[in-house]
């Protein structure tokens, strides 16, 4: 069985885009800016013996605001810059009631089946409560990217580890292996 690091995309791998007074997922390839530390973090994850699996909600597909071919171009760029092993996308909006949209664990469980992943030896890294909830429902350990503690509506023992960014999260996981 393989072990994996499931990684949210927007806000963890790439920068969010300022639009309408908020921060959102990019809709244009030119706006898809991968953080400079991400290739090194992915390399560190892979060198530690984990698969690097991106799991991303992309509801702008369902909303007609992001074209699937543009999303494919973004992911081709991601694969060219970072050696991720797989990318799983939920193109649905909340109202679609699918099983793959985080906070449900569908993408993680599908990846586990497809790639022979032992979920209990795996991690979920994300910047939103929904990422952490998906990881918890799947049975992963979890790292929340960001500096603010949030409330989860889950038992305290399940609260995620906090980390500044993907590189520091990769270091936390590497250090956990060394202990």
- What is the DSSP-derived secondary structure letter of residue 160? P
Q: Please confirm, yes or no, whether 31 is among the known catalytic residues.
A: no
Starting at the edge strand found earlier in the chain, the sheet holding 161-163 runs 86-90, 50-57, 3-7, 123-126, 141-145, 161-163
- Among residues 10, 85, 127, 131, the one annotated as catalytic is 10
Q: How many CB atoms neighbour CB 178 within 10 A?
A: 6
Distance CA 111, CA 88 (A): 8
Angle at 138 between CA 117 and CA 120, to 5 degrees: 50
Distance CA 155, CA 157 (A): 5
Q: Please confirm, yes or no, whether 114 is among the known catalytic residues.
A: no
Annotated active-site positions, please?
A: 8, 10
């Amino acid at each position: 069985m393989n072990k994996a690091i499931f990684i949210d995309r927007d806000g963890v791998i790439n920068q969010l885009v300022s639009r309408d007074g908020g921060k959102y997922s990019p809709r244009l390839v030119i706006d898809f800016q991968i953080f400079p530390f991400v290739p090194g973090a992915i390399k560190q994850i892979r060198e530690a013996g984990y698969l690097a699996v991106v799991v991303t909600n992309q509801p702008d597909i369902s909303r007609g605001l992001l074209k699937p071919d543009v999303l494919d171009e973004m992911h081709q760029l991601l694969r060219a810059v970072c050696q991720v092993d797989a990318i799983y996308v939920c193109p649905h909006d909340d109202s679609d009631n699918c099983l793959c949209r985080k906070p449900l664990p569908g993408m993680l469980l599908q990846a586990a089946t497809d790639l022979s992943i032992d979920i209990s030896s795996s991690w979920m890294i994300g910047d939103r409560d929904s990422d952490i909830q998906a990881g918890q429902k799947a049975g992963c350990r979890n790292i929340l990217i960001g500096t603010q503690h949030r409330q989860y509506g889950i038992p305290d023992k399940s609260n995620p580890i906090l980390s500044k960014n993907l590189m520091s999260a990769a270091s936390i996981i590497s250090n956990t292996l060394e202990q």
